């Protein structure tokens, strides 16, 4: 199996889970080790994988790596909306050109691909609407990040239809868990609290996200690899929808802090209001269900992980907050 972007948050957790389930799995990882990649996330399995540092947009390299594998699981991407608003350029190269380069390699060598995507490709929903995203919801991305992911999904679909590439796709809601970069909402607030800084809520904090533990996302990906139908898309989400301010209040409670111990900061431009997933298809067709039954349960486990793994996140904290200070958030 060739796993792209496995020094990042979800990819690293994927490799750990896949090897836990099947210790004999032969895994090669390709990762450019951007600011978001950290080889230390794979330190417990370092001697059981082959690690290649490289760019997925490098056609020659991808051709060589894909020729040597049975299956590609494609996580690598620029993943942070705020960064895409500051400088969209790497999002175009990694997310669009990178996916194109992988598609050309799997087409040439006749290999199976699973493409990891996001619910952000659908745009956003009204706060009070009963609607949820489904596999057939039209694409309507808002940010340079989500537009680049939408473009990559379209490329995968076109390669399936035009060239008979053997691929599946999945679009997941917001993940959280171990090895999550401290630029993202939950790890930023957890590590703010752990370093004596106040959490930062964008705008009025009313935006809604659906929180899925990374292990539940990756269990769904493994199920798709095992039982998913070629050419199909699967939406993945826990159903745990919350307004940001409620997530923060719950986190403050888990960490023993007063409910109002946070600051409001200026909003993200174009901030998507609400994401919500209808995951009926993967639940009914593949039998997926999240193991973390509530956000609280997942939050407690995640806070414990950050408390116990300061070595992993502390070196990233200062530079990340400096980046936010420049953006005024």
Q: List binders of ligand DAU among 253-272 (CB under 6 A).
A: 268
99 to 158, contacts with ligand NAD by CB under 6 A? 116, 118, 149
Residue 167's CB: how many other CB atoms inside 10 A?
26
C-alpha angle with apex 33: 29 to 36, nearest 5 degrees? 110
Position 213 contacts ligand DAU (CB under 6 A): no
66 versus 150: smaller Cβ distance to ligand DAU: 150
- Rounded least distance, CB 40 to ligand NAD, Å: 11
Residue 188 near ligand DAU by CB under 6 A = yes
Which residues in 169-228 contact ligand NAD (CB under 6 A)? 172, 174-175, 181
Q: Which stretch binds ligand DAU (CB under 6 A): 26-34, 35-43, 65-73, 77-85?
A: 77-85
For ligand NAD, the closer CB: 94 or 233: 94
* By the rule CB under 6 A, 295 interacts with ligand DAU: no
Q: Segment contacting ligand DAU (CB under 6 A): 94-102, 117-125, 131-139, 161-169? A: 117-125
Site string for ligand NAD, 39-78 (x = CB under 6 A): ----------------xxx-----------------xxxx
Q: Where are the alpha helices (DSSP H) in the chain?
A: 9-21, 59-67, 81-86, 89-91, 98-109, 144-163, 185-194, 214-227, 244-254, 280-286, 295-308, 310-327
Using CA atoms, how far apart are residues 190 and 197, in angstroms rounded to an integer? 10
**Partner whose footprint covers residue 32, from ligand DAU, ligand NAD, none (CB < 5 to 8 Å by kind):** ligand NAD
Binding site partner of 209, from ligand DAU, ligand NAD, none, Cβ cut-off 5-8 A by kind: ligand DAU
Is 217 near ligand DAU (CB under 6 A)?
no
Structure token pair of residue 165: 């590439």
- CA 53 to chain centroid, in Å, comes to 20
Distance between CA 212 and CA 175 in Å, rounded?
5
Of 19 and 85, which CB lies nearer to ligand DAU in the complex structure? 85
Q: If DSSP codes are grouped into helix, strand and coil, which group holds residue 281? A: helix
Pick the closer one to ligand DAU by CB: 111 or 200. 200
Q: Among ligand NAD, ligand DAU, none, what does residue 8 contact (CB within 5–8 Å per kind)?
A: ligand NAD
Using CB under 6 A as the binding rule, whether residue 201 contacts ligand DAU is answered as yes
Number of Cβ atoms within 10 Å of the Cβ of 106: 26
Residue 125: CB atoms within 10 A of its CB come to: 18
Question: Is the sign of the CA dihedral 276, 155, 78, 105 positive or negative?
Answer: positive
Report how far residue 314's alpha carbon sits from residue 299's, in angstroms, rounded to the nearest whole number.
19
**Helix, strand, coil % in the chain, rounded to nearest 5:** 50, 15, 35
**Spatial contact of 202 and 244, defined as CB atoms under 8 Å apart:** yes
Q: Kind and range of the H or E element at 175? A: strand 174-176
Query: Interface with ligand DAU by CB under 6 A: which range of 14-22, 113-121, 219-227, 306-314?
Result: 113-121
Say which entry of ligand NAD, ligand DAU, none residue 94 contacts (CB below 5 to 8 A, set by partner kind): ligand NAD
Q: Specify the DSSP class assigned to residue 48.
A: G
Q: Which is nearer to ligand DAU, 69 or 192 (CB)?
A: 192
Task: Choose the contact partner of 116 out of ligand NAD, ligand DAU, none; CB within 5 to 8 A by kind.
Answer: ligand NAD
Where on the chain is the footprint of ligand DAU (CB under 6 A)? 79-81, 118-120, 173-174, 184-185, 188, 200-202, 207, 209, 244, 268, 275
């Amino acid at each position: 199996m060739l796993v792209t972007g496995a020094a990042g948050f979800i990819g690293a957790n994927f490799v750990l889970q896949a090897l836990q389930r099947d210790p004999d799995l032969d895994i090669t990882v390709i990762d450019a080790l951007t600011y978001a990649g950290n080889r230390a996330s794979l330190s417990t399995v370092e001697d059981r994988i082959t690690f290649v540092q490289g760019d997925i947009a490098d056609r020659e390299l991808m051709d060589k790596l894909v020729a040597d594998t049975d299956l590609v699981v494609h996580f690598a991407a620029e993943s942070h909306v705020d960064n895409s608003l500051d400088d969209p350029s790497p999002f175009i190269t990694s997310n669009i050109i990178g996916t194109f380069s992988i598609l050309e390699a799997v087409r040439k060598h006749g290999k199976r691909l699973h493409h990891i995507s996001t619910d952000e490709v659908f745009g956003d929903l009204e706060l009070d609407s009963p609607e949820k995203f489904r596999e057939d919801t039209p694409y309507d991305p808002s940010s340079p990040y989500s537009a680049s992911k939408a473009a990559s999904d379209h490329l995968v679909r076109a390669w399936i239809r035009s060239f008979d590439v053997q691929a599946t796709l999945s679009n997941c809601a917001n993940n959280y868990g171990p090895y999550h970069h401290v630029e993202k909402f939950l790890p930023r607030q957890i590590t703010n609290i752990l370093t004596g800084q106040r959490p930062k809520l964008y705008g009025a904090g009313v935006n809604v996200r659906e929180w899925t533990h990374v292990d539940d996302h990756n269990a769904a990906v493994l199920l798709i690899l095992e039982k998913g139908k070629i050419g199909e898309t699967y939406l993945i989400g826990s159903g745990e929808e919350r307004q940001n301010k409620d997530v923060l209040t719950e986190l403050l409670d888990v960490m023993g802090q007063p409910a109002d111990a946070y600051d409001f900061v200026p909003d993200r431009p174009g901030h998507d209001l609400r994401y919500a997933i209808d995951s009926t298809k993967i639940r009914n067709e593949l039998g997926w269900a999240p193991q973390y039954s509530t956000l609280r349960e997942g939050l407690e486990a995640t806070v414990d992980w950050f408390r116990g793994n300061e070595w992993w996140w502390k070196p990233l904290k200062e530079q990340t907050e400096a980046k936010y200070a420049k953006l005024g958030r």
